[in-house]
Structure 1
Amino acid sequence: MAMDAIDLLKHDHRMVEQLFRDFHAAASATQRNGVVDILVRELSKHAAVEELIFYPFAAKALRDESLVRRHLDEHMAVKEALAELDALARSDGRAGGRAEELIELLRRDVEEHLEDEEGVLMPRLREAVDETALRDLGRTLEKAKGTAPTRPHPHAPDRPPGLTVAAPVAAAYDRMRDRAQGRPRT
């Protein structure tokens, strides 16, 4: 049986929290760089499907644009930090001090975002929407993760309809870059 949307997104949240722990537990720069690659990929996919599918659904169900806008703003800070972290990969400087700073900044931003999302948005949505709709949304989110962008795009639109057009193009480009650079697939 498919997870409902809220459970699916919370599962993603726990995975990201584990990746932060894995980064700090890594025994070498190579291991840390591998964790960074996966962290960038997973957070980018997660943010994209939330922006494209989950937040528009929540805005409509809750009739609360300001709540959704706040989450989109939080995503922007995360995507900017991810973009800088991803750029360090091209300069081969991730093992250094700036990567450590960015990981810590990213961890704090993500932690605050998750607290707000899981403590406010998700409980309100669970109360407002029936379980069937949340399960259907979960299936849609799971499918969308398979084709979502794998890199951060902080300058791309963060809402439909612009995001609906930009996301598939960005995803195709990202996957091509991932293959060319030998990045892990998750």
Structure 2
Amino acid sequence: MDALELLAHDHRRVEQLFRDYRSAASDRQRRGVVELLVRELSRHAALEEMYVYPLAKQVFVDGGREIGEHLGEHLAVKETLLALDRLDEGDERTDELVARLRREVEEHVREEEEVFMPRLRASVSRRELDDLGRLLAQARQGVPTRPHPHAPDHPPALTLAGPVAAAYDRLRDRLQRRPRT
């Protein structure tokens, strides 16, 4: 898959997780889905921030402004993810936060898929997107699995902080027996 196909695939996976949350039969199942949402969206955001957005910033005439808007959307999602991540199984606030997260993600995905992705596809070669897709697939295993709304969100600081956060997240995931994807 090229980079944009890989990101769209991530979007479909998250949409399925929202459906899974709605159909979950117990608090335990809902909490499991929340943990997967936290993991998948944290990884997706990190990949975009580390690899996709810097490329777009280079090739778009107004890249800095547009990427700033996307990073603002990411910040809102990360803050909601952090709030969800801190809740216990069965917490009454979970449904409200998942609904907020869904709204934030749906708006971000719509904008990315209707505007950002077609624009990036038109701005770079097929080979560059293929190469970036391979890089994203490899990098997925080494990016943070938890939200870090106060961490740097663009290179070079992100390039330094990302691996440290990822190692810390993976340790926490193992200790807390979080689901792996």
> Which whole-Å CA distance do the structure 2 matches of 1:13 and 1:36 have between them?
16
Deviation at 1:154, TM superposition (A): 0.2
> Which whole-Å CA distance do the structure 1 matches of 2:151 and 2:8 have between them?
25
Which is worse superposed, 59-68 or 168-177? 59-68
Percent identity, aligned pairs only, is: 60
> Which whole-Å CA distance do the structure 1 matches of 2:167 and 2:121 have between them?
33
Name the structure 2 match of 1:122: 117
Name the structure 1 match of 2:67: 68
User: In the alignment, which of 14, 23, 26 is matched to residue 24 of structure 2?
Assistant: 26
Please list the CA deviations of residues 5-52 of structure 1 after superposition, one character each: whole Å capped at 9, or x if unmatched.
000000000000110110010011111011111110000000001001
User: In the alignment, which of 133, 143, 150 is matched to residue 148 of structure 1?
Assistant: 143
Q: How many equivalent residue pairs?
A: 180
> Which whole-Å CA distance do the structure 2 matches of 1:62 and 1:97 have between them?
43
After TM superposition, the runs of 4+ consecutive aligned structure 1 residues lying more than 4 A away are none
Q: Normalized against structure 1, the TM-score is what?
A: 0.95
Name the structure 1 match of 2:163: 168
> Which whole-Å CA distance do the structure 1 matches of 2:167 and 2:59 have between them?
31
Q: Cα RMSD over matched residues?
A: 0.8
Deviation at 1:96, TM superposition (A): 3.0
Task: Note the residue ranges of structure 2 that are not aligned, 5 or more in a row.
Answer: none
> Which whole-Å CA distance do the structure 2 matches of 1:108 and 1:51 have between them?
21
For 1:149, give the aligned amino acid.
P
> Which whole-Å CA distance do the structure 1 matches of 2:12 and 2:28 have between them?
23
> Which whole-Å CA distance do the structure 1 matches of 2:57 and 2:169 have between them?
28
